[in-house]
C-alpha cells in the first residue's frame, strides 16, 4: 500500500511536469515558424482561410434551413439560377445565363449554363432544377413521407408556382398562378440553391450533412459546434476561381474571444465585431475592418392594440421623442444611419421625400396633450436580451430611449426576457413598446413592408398588430405588378401611410462590421449576410 501511494504521487508529478514541458516546447515550435511539417511557405502565402463566426450551421441543406449562419457556408458550396450582385441585390447570371418573362408575367424561361458539374461528377441540367423545386414544394414526401413545403419556399412562393418543367436539356420553364413581382429576386435567395439530384437520392435524410452542389467549394468535413471545412472544387465551371484552396469556418461564440483569436492568427477573418472594439482594431496595422452594406432596420415597435398606443397621436408623439443621432453616436460608433422608413435606402422603392418626425420634445408634449394625455402615461419598453446585427446593445439603447420618453411624461419600465421568450411574447402582442429588427432576405421592399407591417402577417412578423386596409390593398397590388416604376410608386405611397400611422419608431440602419488580416483582398461582405468567398485571396 505504501509503495502504491508513492507511485501514484510520482505519477501525478510526472503528468504535471510533462504538461509544463509540453507547453514550453509547443511555444518554441510556434515561435520558430509554422508547426506544419516543413510547409514553411504555407505561412508566407496561405492558401487557406479560417473564418471565425459566432455560431455553427444548423444544416448544410440550404432549402431546409432558415438560419443565416447556415447560408454563410452553403453559398460557397451551392449556386442559384440567379445571383445577387457582389454587394447589392441586383440580379446577375448564375447557373442561368439568361431568362425572360412572358407578357402576362406568368411564365419565366431560364437558359441554363452548359458544362456545369456537381461535386459528385454528375451534370447540372434542367432536370436538376425541376427536381429541386419539386422537392421544396412537396417537402420530404419521397424520403420521410413529410409533405410540408420547405419553410423558405412556403414563405417566399406560397403555392404560386403552378409547375416547373424542363423544356430542353438546358432550358427550364416556371409557370405561375398569378404574377409575382419578386419572383426573380426570390430565385436568387440563398435557400433556393441547386443540389445534385443524384446526391439527394443517395443521401436521403442525410443530405443535410452531405451537401453536393455546383459551387466553387466542395464539402469536406463538419464537426458540429466547432468547424466546417470546404475545399476548392477543381472542376468548377469558372476556372479562374476560387482563389483560396480551403476555407475553414470556425464557431467562436464570444465576441471578445473571437477578436482575440484574430489577433493571435488562430483565425484570419471574423464577423460580429463589437462597435466598441473598432478603435482598437483600426489601430492595429495587422488588421483591417470590413463593413457590410446595410440592408436592415432596427426599430421600436408600438403595439397598436395596447393602451394609449392605440392612439395614432401618441405614437407620433413618441416618434418625436427619440434622439436617433445621439443613439448612433453612442452605440454604433457612427456605423449606422438614422432610419425614417421601415426599409433601408438601398432598396428600390425607398421614399426619400418623407420627412422624419424631428427630435422635438415640445412637439411631442403637444401631441400627447392633444391625444388626451397631458401628464403622460406609464408603459413597458421591451429590450432584446441579445445583440443583433441591427442592435448591438438593446438594454442600453432602451435606457437612452427611456430617458427622453420620461422627459415628455411617459414613464417607462424596461423589461427583458430570454430571446426565445421575447419573440414569443412580442408575437403574441404582449408588449407595449418593444425593440426588434429585420435583415432583408431578398432586397425587395415587399420583404420589409408587406412582411413586417401588413395585416396578413399579424402573429408572425407583424409584431405591432398594425392593420390598415388601404395599405394592404397597395401592398398586395405591388406584389402582382411587374412594372418596376409602378411598384416604386406603390411602395412610396405605402411608406407615406406607414409614416402617418406610426406603428413603429424606425431607429437605425446599421452596418454590421467584420475584421480580418490586413492582407486579405477582394472580400466583399454582402448585405444579406451570406458572403461568397470565391474571389477572396491573400496578397498586398
Partner 1 sequence: MYAYIIRRLLTLIPVLLGLTLIVFLMIRAIPGNPAHIILGQAATEESIEALNKKLGLDQPWYVQYFKYLGGLLTGDLGDSIRTDSPISEQIWPYLAGTIELALVAMLIAVFIGVNAGIISAWFQNSWFDYALMLLALIGVSMPIFWLGLLEQWIFAVNLDWFPTGGRDNVRNPVEPITHLYIIDTIIQGDTEKLVEVIRHLVLPAVALATIPMAIIARITRSSMLEVMRTDYIRTAKAKGMKMFWVVYKHSLKNASIPILTVIGLQLGLLLGGAILTETIFSWPGIGRYIYDAINYRDYPVVQSSILIIALFFVLINLIVDILYAIIDPRIKYR
Question: 22 or 329, CB closer to partner 1?
Answer: 22
Query: Which of 263, 67, 95, 255 has the alpha carbon at shortest distance from 187?
Result: 95
Rule CB under 8 A: say whether 45 interacts with partner 1: no
H or E segment at 381?
strand 378-382
Interacting residues with partner 1 between 349 and 408 (CB under 8 A): none
* Cα–Cα dist 333/107, whole Å: 48
Rule CB under 8 A: say whether 8 interacts with partner 1: no
Among 180, 196, 208, 530, binds partner 1 (CB under 8 A): 208
Among 44, 239, 240, 264, binds partner 1 (CB under 8 A): 264
Is residue 55 packed enough to be buried (19+ CB in 10 Å), middle (13-18) or exposed (0-12)? Answer: middle
Q: Which stretch binds partner 1 (CB under 8 A): 13-21, 271-279, 339-347, 522-530?
A: 13-21
Question: 208 or 510, CB closer to partner 1?
Answer: 208
Residue 303 and residue 465 in contact, taking contact as beta carbons nearer than 8 Å: yes
Question: 304 or 426, CB closer to partner 1?
Answer: 426
Residue 283 and residue 64 in contact, taking contact as beta carbons nearer than 8 Å: no
* Cα–Cα dist 230/249, whole Å: 8
Among 137, 185, 250, 487, binds partner 1 (CB under 8 A): 250
Rule CB under 8 A: say whether 86 interacts with partner 1: no
| Torsion 64-385-293-518 (CA) sign | negative
CA 460 to chain CA centroid, Å, is 18
Q: Which stretch binds partner 1 (CB under 8 A): 165-173, 245-253, 346-354, 516-524?
A: 245-253
CA 89 to chain CA centroid, Å, is 13
Rule CB under 8 A: say whether 416 interacts with partner 1: no
Question: 66 or 288, CB closer to partner 1?
Answer: 66
Rule CB under 8 A: say whether 226 interacts with partner 1: yes
What cell does 43 get? Answer: 505561412
Question: 97 or 257, CB closer to partner 1?
Answer: 257
Rule CB under 8 A: say whether 441 interacts with partner 1: yes
Among 58, 87, 111, 416, binds partner 1 (CB under 8 A): 58
Q: Which stretch binds partner 1 (CB under 8 A): 120-128, 349-357, 412-420, 508-516?
A: 412-420
In angstroms, give the least distance from the CB of 36 to partner 1.
6
Q: Which stretch binds partner 1 (CB under 8 A): 193-201, 251-259, 357-365, 500-508?
A: 251-259
Helix crossing, 361-370 with 312-320: angle to 10°? 170
Q: Which stretch binds partner 1 (CB under 8 A): 302-310, 331-339, 455-463, 465-473?
A: 455-463
Among 290, 438, 450, 504, binds partner 1 (CB under 8 A): 438
In angstroms, give the least distance from the CB of 538 to partner 1.
14
Q: Which stretch binds partner 1 (CB under 8 A): 100-108, 194-202, 438-446, 506-514?
A: 438-446
Among 116, 252, 321, 401, binds partner 1 (CB under 8 A): 252
Rule CB under 8 A: say whether 36 interacts with partner 1: yes
Q: Given strand 433-439, what is the order of strands in its sheet?
A: 336-338, 504-510, 296-302, 433-439, 378-382, 411-415
Contacting residues for 386 by C-beta, under 8 A, at least 6 apart: 394, 419
Among 163, 224, 411, 521, binds partner 1 (CB under 8 A): 224
* Cα–Cα dist 336/397, whole Å: 14
Rule CB under 8 A: say whether 22 interacts with partner 1: yes
Interacting residues with partner 1 between 266 and 305 (CB under 8 A): 266
Question: 264 or 285, CB closer to partner 1?
Answer: 264
What cell does 176 get? Answer: 405561375
* Cα–Cα dist 480/487, whole Å: 9
Backbone angles phi, psi at 423, to 5 degrees: -65, -45
Rule CB under 8 A: say whether 9 interacts with partner 1: yes
* Cα–Cα dist 332/391, whole Å: 9
Pinpoint the alpha helices (H) of 191-311.
197-203, 255-264, 278-283
Rule CB under 8 A: say whether 536 interacts with partner 1: no
Is residue 242 packed enough to be buried (19+ CB in 10 Å), middle (13-18) or exposed (0-12)? Answer: buried
Contacting residues for 185 by C-beta, under 8 A, at least 6 apart: 89, 91, 442, 443, 444
Question: 15 or 329, CB closer to partner 1?
Answer: 15
Question: 21 or 329, CB closer to partner 1?
Answer: 21
In angstroms, give the least distance from the CB of 26 to partner 1.
4
What cell does 218 get? Answer: 466542395
| Torsion 445-447-450-452 (CA) sign | negative
Rule CB under 8 A: say whether 201 interacts with partner 1: no
Site string for partner 1, 123-162 (x = CB under 8 A): -----------------------x-xx-xx-xxx------
Among 90, 98, 235, 254, binds partner 1 (CB under 8 A): 254
In angstroms, give the least distance from the CB of 529 to partner 1.
11
In angstroms, give the least distance from the CB of 172 to partner 1.
24
Angle at the Cα of 91 from the Cα atoms of 530 and 244, rounded to 5 degrees: 45
H or E segment at 155?
helix 151-157
Q: What is the DSSP string of 484-501?
A: HHHHHHHHHHHHHHHHHH
In angstroms, give the least distance from the CB of 491 to partner 1.
19
Interacting residues with partner 1 between 469 and 528 (CB under 8 A): none
* Cα–Cα dist 7/380, whole Å: 65
Rule CB under 8 A: say whether 411 interacts with partner 1: no
Amino acid at each position: 500500500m505504501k509503495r502504491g501511494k508513492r507511485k501514484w504521487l510520482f505519477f501525478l508529478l510526472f503528468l504535471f511536469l510533462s504538461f509544463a514541458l509540453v507547453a514550453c516546447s509547443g511555444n518554441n515550435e510556434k515561435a520558430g515558424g509554422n508547426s506544419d511539417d516543413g510547409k514553411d511557405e504555407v505561412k508566407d502565402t496561405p492558401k487557406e482561410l479560417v473564418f471565425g463566426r459566432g455560431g455553427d450551421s444548423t444544416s448544410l441543406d440550404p432549402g431546409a434551413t432558415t438560419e443565416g449562419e447556415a447560408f454563410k457556408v452553403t453559398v460557397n458550396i451551392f449556386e442559384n439560377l440567379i445571383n445577387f450582385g457582389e454587394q447589392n441585390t441586383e440580379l446577375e447570371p448564375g447557373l442561368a445565363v439568361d431568362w425572360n418573362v412572358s407578357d402576362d408575367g406568368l411564365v419565366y424561361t431560364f437558359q441554363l449554363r452548359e458544362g456545369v458539374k456537381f461535386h459528385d461528377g454528375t451534370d447540372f441540367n434542367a432536370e436538376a432544377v425541376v427536381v429541386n423545386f419539386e422537392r421544396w414544394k412537396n417537402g420530404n414526401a419521397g424520403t420521410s413521407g413529410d409533405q410540408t413545403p420547405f419553410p423558405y419556399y412556403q414563405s417566399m412562393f406560397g403555392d404560386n408556382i403552378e409547375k416547373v418543367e424542363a423544356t430542353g436539356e438546358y432550358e427550364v420553364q416556371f409557370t405561375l398562378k398569378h404574377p409575382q413581382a419578386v419572383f426573380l429576386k426570390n430565385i436568387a435567395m440563398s435557400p433556393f440553391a441547386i443540389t445534385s439530384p443524384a446526391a439527394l437520392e443517395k443521401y436521403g435524410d442525410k443530405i443535410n450533412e452531405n451537401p453536393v452542389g455546383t459551387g466553387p467549394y466542395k464539402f469536406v468535413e463538419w464537426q458540429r459546434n466547432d468547424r466546417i471545412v470546404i475545399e476548392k472544387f477543381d472542376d468548377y465551371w469558372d476556372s479562374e476561381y476560387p482563389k483560396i484552396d480551403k476555407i475553414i469556418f470556425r464557431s467562436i461564440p464570444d465576441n471578445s474571444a473571437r477578436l482575440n483569436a484574430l489577433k493571435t492568427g488562430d483565425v484570419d477573418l471574423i464577423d460580429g465585431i463589437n462597435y466598441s472594439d473598432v478603435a482598437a482594431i483600426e489601430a492595429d496595422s495587422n488588421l483591417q475592418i470590413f463593413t457590410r452594406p446595410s440592408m436592415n432596420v432596427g426599430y421600436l415597435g408600438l403595439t397598436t392594440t395596447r393602451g394609449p398606443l392605440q392612439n395614432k397621436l401618441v405614437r407620433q408623439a413618441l416618434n418625436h421623442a427619440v434622439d436617433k443621432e445621439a443613439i448612433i453616436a453612442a452605440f454604433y460608433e457612427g456605423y449606422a444611419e438614422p432610419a425614417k422608413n421601415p426599409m433601408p435606402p438601398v432598396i428600390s422603392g425607398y421614399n426619400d421625400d418623407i420627412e422624419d418626425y424631428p427630435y422635438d420634445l415640445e412637439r411631442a408634449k403637444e401631441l400627447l396633450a392633444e391625444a388626451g394625455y397631458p401628464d403622460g402615461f406609464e408603459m413597458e419598453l421591451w429590450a432584446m436580451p441579445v445583440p443583433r446585427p441591427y442592435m448591438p446593445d438593446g438594454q442600453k439603447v432602451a435606457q437612452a430611449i427611456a430617458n427622453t420618453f420620461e422627459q415628455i411624461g411617459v414613464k417607462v419600465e424596461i423589461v427583458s426576457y430570454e430571446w426565445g421568450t421575447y419573440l414569443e411574447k412580442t408575437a403574441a402582442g404582449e408588449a407595449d413598446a418593444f425593440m426588434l429588427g429585420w435583415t432583408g432576405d431578398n432586397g425587395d421592399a415587399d420583404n420589409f413592408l408587406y412582411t413586417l407591417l401588413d395585416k396578413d402577417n399579424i402573429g408572425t412578423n407583424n409584431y405591432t398588430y398594425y392593420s390598415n386596409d388601404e395599405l394592404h390593398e397597395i401592398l398586395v397590388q405591388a406584389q402582382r405588378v411587374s412594372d418596376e416604376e409602378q411598384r416604386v410608386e406603390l411602395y412610396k405611397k405605402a411608406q407615406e401611410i406607414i409614416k402617418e400611422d406610426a406603428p413603429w419608431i424606425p431607429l437605425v440602419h446599421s452596418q454590421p462590421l467584420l475584421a480580418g488580416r490586413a492582407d486579405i483582398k477582394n472580400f466583399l461582405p454582402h448585405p444579406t449576410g451570406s458572403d461568397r468567398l470565391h474571389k477572396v485571396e491573400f496578397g498586398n
